[in-house]
C-alpha cells in the first residue's frame, strides 16, 4: 500500500461518509480502497489505535487519461459510492466535497494554473473540509531530482509524452495555501524512499457561528 494511503486511514483524514474528490484519480485506487474499508470483514481486522474506518465515503474521481477512466469504471462501476469523470482538472467542475485528494499531479500544470485549481478546490470544500495534497519539495534537491526522474520514467513506460513540470519549494506551497485562507500542516511522506515527498494537510476554516 502506498504510504500516503496508510497515513490517511491511520489518522482519520477522510471521515466516515465523507464526500471525496480525487483529482488525478488514475484507475480508481483510492475509491477501491475506501470501498473496501466499508466491508465488514475489513472492519473486523482494522488495526487497533487507528482512527475509525471511513465507511460510506463517496468518491468522485477526475482523470485526464481516458484509458484509466475506463479501467476504473470497469473495476468499480458507476454511481453509488464511486463516480469517474474524464477531463482536465483545469476545466472540470468540482462538486461540493468534504475532502479533496491530489497526489503527485499538480506539478504538471503551470504555477498560475496550480493557483487557480487550488482556489477552486478551496471553494468546493465544505467548512472544516480538508485538502490532502502530496507534492515534491523542490528545495530538497537530490530527493526532488530522483522523484522527477522516476515520474518521467513511469510516464514513458505507460506510453505517454513526458510533459514539462512546475515544482515549488515546501515554503512556497505552504505560502500559496495559506494565501487561500487554509490552515496548513506539512507531514513528511518519504520515509523508506529516496524521494522528497510531503503531504500537506490544508483545512478550510469552520463556518462562523451566528
Q: How confident is the model at residue 201, as a pLDDT?
A: 99
Q: How confident is the model at residue 76, as a pLDDT?
A: 94
Q: 77-86, pLDDT tens digit by residue?
A: 887 899 999 9
Report the alpha-carbon distance of residue 132 to residue 200 in Å, rounded.
Answer: 6
pLDDT band at 209 (very low <50, low <70, confident <90, very high): very low
The residue count of the chain comes to: 210
Q: Catalogue all structural domains in the chain, each as residue range(s) with its CATH number.
A: 3-203 (3.40.50.150)
DSSP string, 18-37: -EEEEET-TTTHHHHHHHHH
Q: How confident is the model at residue 185, as a pLDDT?
A: 98
Cell of 52: 475509525
Average of per-residue pLDDT across 91-96: 98
Residues 6+ apart with CB under 8 A from 123: 94
User: Strands 197-203 and 125-136: what pairing?
Assistant: antiparallel
Report the alpha-carbon distance of residue 149 to residue 65 in Å, rounded.
Answer: 21
Q: At what angle do helices 29-37 and 3-10 cross, to 10 degrees?
A: 40
Average of per-residue pLDDT across 153-160: 68
Q: 98-123, pLDDT tens digit by residue?
A: 999 999 999 999 999 999 999 999 99
Q: Report whether pLDDT(210) > 60.
A: no
Q: 8-56, pLDDT tens digit by residue?
A: 999 999 999 999 999 999 999 999 999 998 886 576 788 999 999 999 9
Q: Where are the beta strands (DSSP E) in 8-121?
A: 19-23, 58-63, 82-86, 97-103
Q: 175-207, pLDDT tens digit by residue?
A: 999 999 999 999 998 776 767 899 999 999 986
Q: Structure pTM?
A: 0.91
Amino acid at each position: 500500500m502506498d504510504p500516503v494511503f496508510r497515513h490517511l486511514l491511520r489518522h482519520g483524514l477522510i471521515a466516515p461518509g465523507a464526500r471525496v474528490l480525487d483529482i488525478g484519480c488514475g484507475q480508481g485506487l483510492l475509491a477501491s480502497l475506501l470501498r473496501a474499508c466499508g466491508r465488514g470483514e475489513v472492519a473486523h481486522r482494522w488495526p487497533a489505535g487507528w482512527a475509525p474506518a471511513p465507511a460510506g465515503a463517496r468518491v468522485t474521481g477526475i482523470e485526464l487519461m481516458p484509458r484509466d477512466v475506463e479501467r476504473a469504471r470497469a473495476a468499480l462501476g458507476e454511481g453509488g459510492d464511486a463516480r469517474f469523470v474524464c477531463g482536465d482538472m483545469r476545466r472540470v467542475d468540482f462538486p461540493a466535497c468534504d475532502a479533496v485528494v491530489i497526489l503527485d499531479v499538480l506539478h504538471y500544470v503551470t504555477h498560475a494554473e496550480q493557483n487557480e485549481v487550488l482556489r477552486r478546490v478551496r471553494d468546493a470544500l465544505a467548512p472544516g473540509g480538508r485538502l490532502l495534497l502530496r507534492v515534491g519539495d523542490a528545495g530538497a534537491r537530490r530527493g526532488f531530482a530522483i522523484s522527477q526522474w522516476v515520474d518521467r520514467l513511469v510516464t514513458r513506460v505507460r506510453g505517454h509524452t513526458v510533459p514539462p513540470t512546475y515544482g515549488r519549494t515546501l515554503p512556497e506551497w505552504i505560502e500559496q495555501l495559506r494565501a487561500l485562507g487554509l490552515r496548513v500542516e506539512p507531514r513528511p511522506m518519504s520515509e523508506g524512499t529516496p524521494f522528497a515527498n510531503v503531504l500537506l494537510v490544508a483545512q478550510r476554516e469552520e463556518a462562523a457561528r451566528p
